[in-house]
Structure 1
């Protein structure tokens, strides 16, 4: 987007009573943000949903001073922008009616032809949640997904760290301007996040991490992803808001089940119980529900002539050769592995091209 149009988009964002939905409607009707300000009041008033108060606000020239100041910040600090009509704007977010008209980014974000998943959860992550998150991302790493989260304490930062550990792109969607970092304790991760992905926000440099901003931020986390995963959550929390938004956007939602006595499993268990989320016990569940085609996504696609299996994989492979098609639970039972372990083994074996999944969570040896 050229700088002159960016200036008018920024100005439009500062017009009182004009939010993202109204801004996109005005821009679409008039052809550009600049044209919105140059359109006659009578013509603006004829647009459906645009009242006299909004028309009057559009003639307030003080918004241009604010736009100039923010444009200076953007230029001086090398901030990148993604406009809702641009190719580099998150594709799935374009289909969200309340998606931001403009996003500000830093780092090396690349969303072209990529699988994108959001991982959210409690700020009080347990060892169970940490272990599950790490194993999930490790098993998904061959598919090279983009991992999105909110850079907060707990599940968020663990997700970013695990993504970087396995050389995956990770995007931190923050609830404030890019002139600051919240929480400050996470400043030490900024450089590596920008190297492996980057930061994204809809908020100006004048915006602080106020409480209401986090709820607005959550719709970006949910809207830009193919699926939202809730690792752990108490009965109430921001991650459940994100899950509900994802459902409203018709996105897949997954929740990690836990013991009914565990405080930070209550939210996940409730999502599953009310059928607002799929059960997630392993990466294999995600791959199956999202119908990700491993043969097309994993390089090289040619099957190896000689595949090396570890001792546990060989045990599973020998069992499937003997029995043919079998359910994951049955394989786990007969091979004496816990279900979380067998799902990881089967995914690794699938990537090696020695087993394939079938409908109904069946697997067979190739």
Structure 2
């Protein structure tokens, strides 16, 4: 376990420094060096990052006081303990700046500063699509979730889901059963799996994809984590496919984050328009101008569209991926 990772987690999670500030520290100083700063020197650093680098850092005095009080406290010990648990259970902790961190996640609004992962995220997984939906699907919804996931797997796409009961699990299992890859993004810690019944899928999943979480390994699920994990599920995929959901469905969060990220919204066309589970597909198709899937041919068309999106995003990433200049020290203003 590297002490620099402990320091990074402390500065990113506990002090909540913006990613732009963390990147400058990474390239011009070091996280370990900053942890040895005095209260005065840390305040000077944050002030310079705000005034000279134009990085939005609110409540500097509060952050400085917390830093001085906790940099040698039990907070660091807790972080170290969590990372030791990760090591013992073959869980990787990847920072935003790690080379193995999923590239598509780096481009979204408010990307995670670090993630926990079992399994492996391969370069081929950048060609992925998210399939999500209700926890209580109809027979038609279940059939279509399996069919859509199978076809996209055959076309070489990795299937991403929120690992929830119902549509998410059916899509992920279909991909794995048909020789494809899958990525499950969970709202709990990896060692406190939610839902528990999906424990039987973990072994096959980590051997043919990955299990990802933003929460520390033993953390339990909560309402907020269920909502914000959707930005990761959407962020990894090139587009979001919705298979059933009522007007109160949590899949609306997936749509919200997908729209912010510029991801296409696609819905499986319902056959029973009176079913309460048809609300989300109808809403996306009729009110949000989303694409629809009715047949196998539609899946192939959507796949071609997503591949065009994939090529465009790769080009944008190559243009955008420019390092911050290392010539100026933020401590010498």
Supply the distance in 2 between the matched residues of 1:196 and 1:178 (Cα, whole angstroms).
17
Cross-structure match for 1:15: 14
The offset of 1:113, in angstroms, is 6.3
Aligned pair partner of 1:53 in 56, 59, 62: 62
Could you list the runs of 5+ residues in structure 2 that have no partner in the other structure?
51-55, 310-333
Cross-structure match for 1:34: 32
Per the normalisation by structure 2, the TM-score is: 0.80
Establish whether residue 163 from structure 1 lines up as the match of residue 162 from structure 2.
Answer: no
Cross-structure match for 1:105: 117
Aligned pair partner of 1:187 in 169, 174, 199: 199
Q: Tell me, yes or no, if the aligned pair for 1:27 and 1:36 is still in contact at 8 Å.
A: no
The offset of 1:140, in angstroms, is 2.3
Supply the distance in 2 between the matched residues of 1:74 and 1:214 (Cα, whole angstroms).
22
Could you list the runs of 5+ residues in structure 1 that have no partner in the other structure?
294-366
Supply the distance in 2 between the matched residues of 1:25 and 1:38 (Cα, whole angstroms).
21
Moved over 6 A (4+): none
Supply the distance in 2 between the matched residues of 1:34 and 1:42 (Cα, whole angstroms).
17
The offset of 1:162, in angstroms, is 0.4
Aligned length: 288
Supply the distance in 1 between the matched residues of 2:218 and 2:152 (Cα, whole angstroms).
37
Supply the distance in 2 between the matched residues of 1:291 and 1:174 (Cα, whole angstroms).
26
Cross-structure match for 2:79: 67
Cross-structure match for 2:273: 260
Per the normalisation by structure 1, the TM-score is: 0.74
Cross-structure match for 1:272: 285
The offset of 1:81, in angstroms, is 2.3
Alignment of 1:1-366 (within 5 A): 3-16=2-15, 18=16, 22-31=17-26, 32-39=30-37, 40=41, 41-48=43-50, 49-50=56-57, 51-59=60-68, 60-61=70-71, 62=73, 63-112=75-124, 114-258=126-270, 259-281=272-294, 282-291=298-307
Cross-structure match for 1:331: none
Q: Tell me, yes or no, if the aligned pair for 2:187 and 2:229 is still in contact at 8 Å.
A: yes
Structure scoring higher RCO (CA < 8 A, sep ≥ 6) equals 2
Change (3 A) 1:291 1:112: closer
Is 226-235 or 281-290 further displaced after alignment? 281-290
Supply the distance in 1 between the matched residues of 2:251 and 2:33 (Cα, whole angstroms).
39
The offset of 1:14, in angstroms, is 4.3
Q: Tell me, yes or no, if the aligned pair for 1:175 and 1:214 is still in contact at 8 Å.
A: yes
Change (3 A) 1:133 1:145: same
User: Which whole-Å deviations, capped at 9, do the CAs of 1:303-327 have from their partners, x for residues lacking one?
Assistant: xxxxxxxxxxxxxxxxxxxxxxxxx
Cross-structure match for 1:327: none
